[in-house]
């Protein structure tokens, strides 16, 4: 499919994501301006506060965006899932250049000019508004300009907390390696948005430049038009946010409502969509907060921002509860069920009928040539091989460190750490020789990859389940009925096929799930 065809087929979704992205940037930058400029003015009057405040602003910019989202989610009022958390994070990132440039601009006003104003009998307030701010405005606008560009870039990460925006396409494109249309659809509008903001604010900045005032008078009409467009978009975004909040309030009052979350990979989205469609068929209003990165689904569930999401017992057992790995599926399930109820007030659904364990994969040609069936067989050849693993596998307690020790694996080079979706492509194209994928990945058969048996039973069981808040199950009884109905309802082969339909055949999860639920009689 050409990029132009992709845009034509997805123009409605594309427009929605662009408006969401623009909304995030404009609202967060506006708030940062309202906070940052008065703070900068205060720091020019209170020198003792200058270093501490600028130091805190500097620290906020050094925190990685995903980590900052993780800190914000559990916080009341300012945290949660969705646009609010993203806006708070973007405001924090935008404050530093605005505060710093306000301080620099005002302190940079010529001392002789300030002394002349004092000699004329002007008060401090008059000096600020009639002398300092007009002369410093071009420097202050430079800070705003930098802040806007920063926000455009960081807002692409906001999709990890369900805030939408162009990052949705970028993250999808990273998972769907062969689909460059998704990456372009996310990256190009974001880049154009940043360039447009930089250019328009640059024109506005020149208008306030003392040296360029005479030369730039002809640009005043354009500047006014730019400001008018920004004001209109901001007003439209605020109106849309108000309408969405009002609609949500009405849905809460009029019908049962459930917020369903998912992790940021295809299978999790599909499992979340299954529950969403089954609940909607039973008259429940469903809000989808899909494609949340890292441990954000767990944090959001515990904080009450979502009502349920799909998880795996082995992940809950090792990555969340921090227990050492064991191999008994029943023991893992019972312990997870008990501890989640005690620690998080979360109910674990019956197992869905399949496991999605780490799958140690090699190329089919190599497996047949070397007669490889188990991981121990592969360990004999590992010294001449290259390995590639996802970030999750490299960092987890049940991942690479323990795995390599259990099997005595020594590779030719340090394993490459990369996005999980890229590892399949790297293996099939002979860039690496062994990877740790997902056992329900639809591309295993399509790429002629072979899963090796975990003969030393290193990996714990990863039975798929749903995690739901107990208060949500009590509030919406039909939710518990749906979870019971899905117990043992999905086989490994079915899950692989569902994943394959989305990842390989490029079909939408909504359509794929609708067909599956109809086929199953759900």
Residue 28: the pLDDT is 94
Condensed to tens digits (0 to 9), the pLDDT of residues 271-282 reads 999 999 999 999
SS3 272: helix
% of the chain at pLDDT higher than 70: 87
Provide the pLDDT for residue 72.
79
Beta strands in 148-256 (DSSP E): none
How do 434-438 and 387-390 pair as beta strands?
parallel
Residue that has been written with the tokens 């009022």 in this structure: 77
Cβ burial, residue 266 (10 Å; 0-12/13-18/19+): buried
Average pLDDT over residues 468-476: 96
Per DSSP, the three-state class of 508 is: coil
pLDDT, tens digit, 9 for 90 and up, residues 27-45: 999 999 999 999 999 999 8
Residue, of 436 and 442, whose pLDDT is higher: 436
Three-state DSSP class for residue 248: helix
Query: Which of 14-28, 206-220, 331-345 is predicted with the least confidence, judged by mean pLDDT?
Result: 206-220
- How much is the pLDDT for 421? 73
Q: Residues 57, 99: contact at Cβ < 8 Å? A: yes
Note whether 307 and 457 are within 8 A (CB). Answer: no
**What does the pLDDT look like over 242-255, one tens digit per residue?**
555 554 444 444 45
Check whether 61 has a pLDDT greater than 80: no
Average pLDDT over residues 58-63: 81
Cα separation, 377 vs 454, in Å, equals 10
- Across the range 325-350, mean pLDDT stands at 94
Mean pLDDT (the chain) is 85
Query: Torsions phi, psi of 258, nearest 5?
Result: -130, 135
pLDDT tens column, 258-308 = 999 999 888 999 999 999 999 999 999 999 999 887 677 898 899 898 999
**Burial state string for 217-237 with b = 16 or more CB within 10 A and e = fewer than 16:** eeeeeebeebeeebeeebeeb
Distances (CA, A) of 308 to 171, 345, 381, 472, 491: 22, 12, 43, 8, 21
The mean pLDDT of 431-436, rounded to a whole number, is 93
pLDDT at 252: 44
Dist CA 108 CA 139 (whole Å): 9
Look at residue 164 and give its three-state secondary structure. coil
How far, in Å, CA of 473 to CA of 482, rounded?
A: 11
3-class DSSP state of 161:
helix
Burial 153-182 (b: 16+ CB within 10 A, else e): ebbbbbbbbbbbbbbbbbbbbbbbbebebb
- State the angle between helix axes of 509-520 and 266-280 in degrees (0 to 180), rounded to the nearest 10: 60
What is the distance between the alpha carbons of residues 499 and 511, in angstroms, rounded to a whole number? 12
pLDDT per residue over 343-392, tens digit each?
999 999 999 999 998 899 999 999 999 999 999 999 999 999 999 988 67
List the domains of the chain with CATH numbers.
3-246 (1.10.3720.10), 255-355+462-520 (3.40.190.10), 358-451 (3.40.190.120)
- Cβ contacts of residue 503 below 8 Å, gap of 6+? 175, 176, 266, 441, 442, 443
Rounded to an integer, the average pLDDT of 493-518 is: 91
CA–CA dist 351, 489 (Å, integer): 9
Instruction: Give yes or no for residue 318 having a pLDDT over 60.
Output: yes
> pLDDT per residue over 507-520, tens digit each?
889 999 999 999 99
CB 355 within 8 A of CB 492: yes
Say if residues 481 and 372 touch (Cβ distance below 8 Å).
no
């Amino acid at each position: 499919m050409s990029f132009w065809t992709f845009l034509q087929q997805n123009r409605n979704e594309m427009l929605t994501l662009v408006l969401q992205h623009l909304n995030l940037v404009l609202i967060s930058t506006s708030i940062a301006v309202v906070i940052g400029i008065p703070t900068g003015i205060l720091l020019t009057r209170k020198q003792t506060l200058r270093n501490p405040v600028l130091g805190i602003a500097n620290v906020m910019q050094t925190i990685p965006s995903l980590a900052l989202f993780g800190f914000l989610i559990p916080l009341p009022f300012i945290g949660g899932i969705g646009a609010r958390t993203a806006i708070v994070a973007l405001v924090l990132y935008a404050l530093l250049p605005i505060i710093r440039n306000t301080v620099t601009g005002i302190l940079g006003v010529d001392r002789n000019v300030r002394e002349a104003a004092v000699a004329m009998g002007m008060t401090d307030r008059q000096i600020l508004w009639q002398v300092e701010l007009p002369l410093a405005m071009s420097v202050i606008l430079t800070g705003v300009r930098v802040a806007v560009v920063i926000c455009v870039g960081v807002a692409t990460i906001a999709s990890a907390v369900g805030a939408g925006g162009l990052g949705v396409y970028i993250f999808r494109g990273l998972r769907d390696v062969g689909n460059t249309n998704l990456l372009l659809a996310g990256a190009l509008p974001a880049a154009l948005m940043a360039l447009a903001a930089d250019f328009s604010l640059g024109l506005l900045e020149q208008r306030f430049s003392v040296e360029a005032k005479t030369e730039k008078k002809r640009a005043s009409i354009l500047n006014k038009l730019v400001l008018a467009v920004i004001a209109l978009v901001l007003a439209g975004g605020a109106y849309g946010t108000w309408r969405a909040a009002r609609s949500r309030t009405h849905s809460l009052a009029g019908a049962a409502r459930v917020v369903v979350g998912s992790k940021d990979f295809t299978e999790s989205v599909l499992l979340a969509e299954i529950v969403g469609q089954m609940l909607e068929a039973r008259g429940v209003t469903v809000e989808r907060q899909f494609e949340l990165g890292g441990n954000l689904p767990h944090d959001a569930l515990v904080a009450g921002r979502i009502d349920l999401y799909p998880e795996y017992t082995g992940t809950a057992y090792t990555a969340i509860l921090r227990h050492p790995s064991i191999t008994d599926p029943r023991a893992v399930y019972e312990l997870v069920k008990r501890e989640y109820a005690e620690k998080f007030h979360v109910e674990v659904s019956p197992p869905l009928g399949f496991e999605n364990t780490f799958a140690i994969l090699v190329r089919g040609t190599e497996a047949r040539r070397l007669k490889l069936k188990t991981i121990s067989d592969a360990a004999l050849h590992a010294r001449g091989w290259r390995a590639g693993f996802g970030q999750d596998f490299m960092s987890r307690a049940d991942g690479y460190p323990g795995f390599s020790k259990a099997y005595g694996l020594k590779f030719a080079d340090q394993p490459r750490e990369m996005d999980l979706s890229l590892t399949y492509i790297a293996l099939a194209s002979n860039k690496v020789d062994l990877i740790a994928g997902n056992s329900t990945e639809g591309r295993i058969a399509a790429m002629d990859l072979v899963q090796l048996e975990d003969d030393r039973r290193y990996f714990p069981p990863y039975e798929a389940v749903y995690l739901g808040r107990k208060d949500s199950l009590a509030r919406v009884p039909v939710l518990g009925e749906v979870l019971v109905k899905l117990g043992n309802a999905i086989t490994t082969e079915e899950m692989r096929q569902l994943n394959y339909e989305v990842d390989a055949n490029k079909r939408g999860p909504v359509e794929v799930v609708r067909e599956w639920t109809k086929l199953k009689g759900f």
